[in-house]
């Protein structure tokens, strides 16, 4: 995958116009892989992970799942769900919230980016909303947008960014 810095250079006009946005935030890589890029799917999961389990049981087709935990501190993703996402072809998971099982996640090839860690798991109840528009760091994200992330930052685009 091409780096976010190179994508910013190649698409400087789109960055300047705001068509490619750089998302602010202090994100933490919690997996072996430290980059992802692809079309995104959204999930608003305020402390509930039943919908997350349903989504990760489906074929990911290289998509990146973006999850907004709101202000709930409980971990939405851990080792078992990360392994399931990897098996089902998800391209990565970005949690605007917490994850757990950090030692195990560090050995998994699925890119996992999150705000941090918390040892307590979320509740296995319904209450989330799949495909909901999300606002993260003041930026609106919609299913079908394109997201690119590495250790330099996170980029959002309405269309796929070509590397040449």
pLDDT in tens, the chain (164 residues): 789 999 999 999 999 999 999 999 889 999 999 999 999 999 999 777 889 999 999 999 999 999 999 888 999 999 999 999 999 999 999 999 999 999 999 999 999 999 999 999 988 778 889 999 999 989 999 999 999 999 999 999 999 998 87
> Which residue is it, tokens 């389990």?
53
- Kindly give the residue spans of alpha helices, DSSP state H, lying in 57-152: 79-87, 102-105
- The answer to whether 32 and 106 are in contact (CB under 8 A) is yes
Q: Cα–Cα distance between 56 and 129 in angstroms, integer?
A: 14
Instruction: Kindly list the distances between the CA atom of residue 67 and the CA atoms of 7, 96, 130, 164, in Å, as whole numbers in the listed order.
Output: 24, 6, 9, 30
Instruction: Using CA atoms of 48, 33, 154, 30 in order, give the dihedral in degrees to the nearest 10.
Output: 50
- The model scores a pTM over 0.75: yes
Q: Within 10 A of 142 (CB to CB), how many other CB atoms are there? A: 14
Give me Rg for the CA atoms of the chain.
15
């Amino acid at each position: 995958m091409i780096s976010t810095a190179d994508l910013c250079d190649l698409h400087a006009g789109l960055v300047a116009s705001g068509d490619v946005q750089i998302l602010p935030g202090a994100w933490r890589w919690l997996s072996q892989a430290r980059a992802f890029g692809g079309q995104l799917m959204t999930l608003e999961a305020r402390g509930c992970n039943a919908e997350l389990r349903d989504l990760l049981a489906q074929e990911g087709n290289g998509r990146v799942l973006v999850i907004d935990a709101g202000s709930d501190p409980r971990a939405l993703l851990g080792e078992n769900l990360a392994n399931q996402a990897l098996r089902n072809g998800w391209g990565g998971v970005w949690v605007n919230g917490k994850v757990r099982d950090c030692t195990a996640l560090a050995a998994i090839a699925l890119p996992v980016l999150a705000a941090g860690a918390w040892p307590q798991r979320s509740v296995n109840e319904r209450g989330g909303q799949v495909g909901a528009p999300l606002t993260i760091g003041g930026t609106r994200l919609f299913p079908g947008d394109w997201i690119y992330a590495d250790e330099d930052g996170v980029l959002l685009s309405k269309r796929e960014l070509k590397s040449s």
